[in-house]
């Protein structure tokens, strides 16, 4: 394996000079830099990043911890974070918690042991930053789910306003018997429930049902099937994430009900499948690219300025009206 000494010998410089060229943190004569980089390329040298991170106490890696990698929302977030980090010369370690606080703690401790520069993190409902021993040692940015803390950067969606707009869209299209399916794993479902109920109240309506359930396709399917088999079935189902949307849509299909004539189905996140089914799904599109990039930028700012004041960035969703809520 090629060593830094081999590169230094080929370029006719010291190992310290090679290190400075690779770190790009000191003035180097252009001709010297060119010789070093040519030697690196000719010898196919790859620096030992682990050893370097131990020396400088800083890694060129960040962590991304999400609750469910199967959820297309988090897949899109991951892509945006990776793109933004790569542009800054960082790589991303992604961890999936499955909404399990034990896995969450395991992965956060693992990332700390890996000496990552910082973590972008979608916490479980049980997460308490003040109870963690590592929170003062590792920069955090919270995404998607608010936590009760004034000491951490967060990038969130205005969930109440988005849910209100989506619910009002159903009401204005003639749907009056609304049911809501909300994820029970985080504050996100609670906030979207508040927007749902506020819109109904403002229009002097009561929900047919409102259930907090595990944000999974199967749970969405089973709950929607029960609702659709009741005598007083809803004429519209509101879901708080794309997994529940998929479950509700499948339940309507398996119940031989026509969407949207018999029951409308709406939800959050503009997935590929949601635009391709017939009829396509009405959704609130979350700005996943902006969420991922903003979170990554805030994390790098925190790494560079550990004592700066925390920021909370609240973004807006976009209503995309499609055939699944066309109107009665």
DSSP 247-276: HHHHHHHHTTPPTTTT-EEEEES--HHHHH
How confident is the model at residue 280, as a pLDDT?
Answer: 97
> What band does 88 get if pLDDT is binned at 50, 70 and 90?
confident
Among residues 66, 7, 13, the alpha carbon closest in space to that of 38 is found at 7
Query: What's the pLDDT tens digit per position in 277-309?
Result: 999 999 999 999 999 999 999 999 998 888 899
Instruction: Enumerate residues 6+ apart whose C-beta is below 8 A from 142.
Output: 121, 122, 123, 152, 153, 154, 155, 156
In sequence order, what are the beta bridge partners of 64?
94, 120
| pTM for the model | 0.79
Average pLDDT, the chain: 90
**Cβ(122)–Cβ(154) below 8 Å:** no
As a whole number of angstroms, the distance between CA 243 and CA 34 comes to: 52
User: Does 136 have pLDDT greater than 60?
Assistant: no
Query: What's the pLDDT tens digit per position in 31-78?
Result: 998 999 999 888 888 665 545 544 445 578 999 999 989 899 999 999
How confident is the model at residue 50, as a pLDDT?
Answer: 44
How confident is the model at residue 28, as a pLDDT?
Answer: 85
**Cβ(94)–Cβ(78) below 8 Å:** yes
Q: Which run of H or of E encompasses 179?
A: strand 178-183
- Domains parsed from the chain with CATH numbers: 4-47 (1.10.260.40), 59-158+288-315 (3.40.50.2300), 159-286+319-325 (3.40.50.2300)
Mean pLDDT of 146-160: 90
How confident is the model at residue 55, as a pLDDT?
Answer: 46
Q: DSSP alpha helices (H): ranges in the chain? A: 4-11, 15-23, 30-43, 49-56, 72-87, 101-113, 159-172, 187-202, 217-228, 242-254, 272-276, 288-304
How confident is the model at residue 60, as a pLDDT?
Answer: 85
Instruction: Enumerate residues 6+ apart whose C-beta is below 8 A from 247.
Output: 181, 216, 217, 218, 219, 220, 221, 222, 223, 224, 239
Question: How much of the chain, in percent, has pLDDT values that exceed 70?
Answer: 91
How confident is the model at residue 24, as a pLDDT?
Answer: 67
How confident is the model at residue 132, as a pLDDT?
Answer: 56
Of the two residues 8 and 160, the one the predictor is more confident about is: 160
As a whole number of angstroms, the distance between CA 171 and CA 234 comes to: 13
Packing angle of the helix pair 4-11, 15-23 (nearest 10 deg)? 100
Query: What's the pLDDT tens digit per position in 100-135?
Result: 989 998 998 889 888 899 999 999 877 876 665 445
How confident is the model at residue 243, as a pLDDT?
Answer: 95
Query: What's the pLDDT tens digit per position in 176-215?
Result: 999 999 999 888 999 999 999 999 999 999 999 999 999 9
Of the two residues 27 and 52, the one the predictor is more confident about is: 27
Query: What's the pLDDT tens digit per position in 230-275?
Result: 999 999 999 999 999 999 999 999 999 999 999 999 999 999 999 9
Mean pLDDT of 150-156: 90
Mean pLDDT of 73-102: 92
**Cβ(101)–Cβ(127) below 8 Å:** yes
């Amino acid at each position: 394996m090629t060593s830094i000494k081999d590169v230094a010998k080929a370029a006719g410089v010291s190992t310290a000079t090679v290190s400075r060229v690779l770190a790009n943190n000191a003035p180097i004569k252009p001709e010297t830099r060119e010789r070093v980089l040519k030697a690196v390329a000719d010898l196919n040298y790859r620096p030992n990043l682990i050893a370097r991170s131990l020396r400088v106490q800083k890694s060129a890696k960040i962590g991304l911890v999400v609750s469910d990698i199967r959820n297309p929302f988090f897949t899109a977030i991951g892509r945006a974070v990776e793109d933004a980090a790569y542009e800054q010369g960082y790589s991303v370690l992604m961890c999936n918690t499955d909404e399990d606080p034990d896995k969450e703690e395991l992965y956060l401790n693992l990332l700390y042991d890996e000496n990552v520069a910082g973590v972008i993190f979608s916490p479980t409902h049980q997460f308490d930053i003040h109870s963690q021993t590592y929170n003062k040692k590792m920069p955090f940015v919270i995404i998607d789910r608010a936590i009760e803390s004034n000491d951490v950067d967060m990038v969130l969606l205005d969930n109440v306003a988005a849910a209100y707009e989506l619910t009002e869209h159903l009401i204005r299209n003639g749907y009056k018997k609304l049911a809501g399916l909300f994820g029970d794993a985080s504050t996100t479902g609670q906030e979207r429930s508040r927007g749902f109920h506020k819109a109904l109240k403002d229009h002097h309506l009561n929900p047919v049902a409102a259930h907090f359930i595990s944000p999974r396709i199967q749970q969405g399917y089973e709950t929607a099937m029960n609702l659709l088999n009741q005598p007083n079935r809803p004429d519209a189902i509101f879901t708080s994430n794309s997994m529940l949307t998929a479950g509700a849509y499948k339940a309507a299909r398996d119940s031989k009900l026509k969407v949207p004539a018999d029951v409308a189905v709406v939800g959050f996140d503009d997935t590929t499948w949601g635009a391709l089914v017939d009829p396509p799904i009405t959704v609130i599109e979350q700005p996943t690219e902006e969420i991922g990039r903003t979170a990554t930028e805030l994390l790098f700012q925190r790494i560079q300025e550990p004592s700066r004041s925390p920021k909370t960035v609240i973004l807006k969703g976009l209503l995309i009206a499609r055939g699944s809520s066309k109107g009665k």
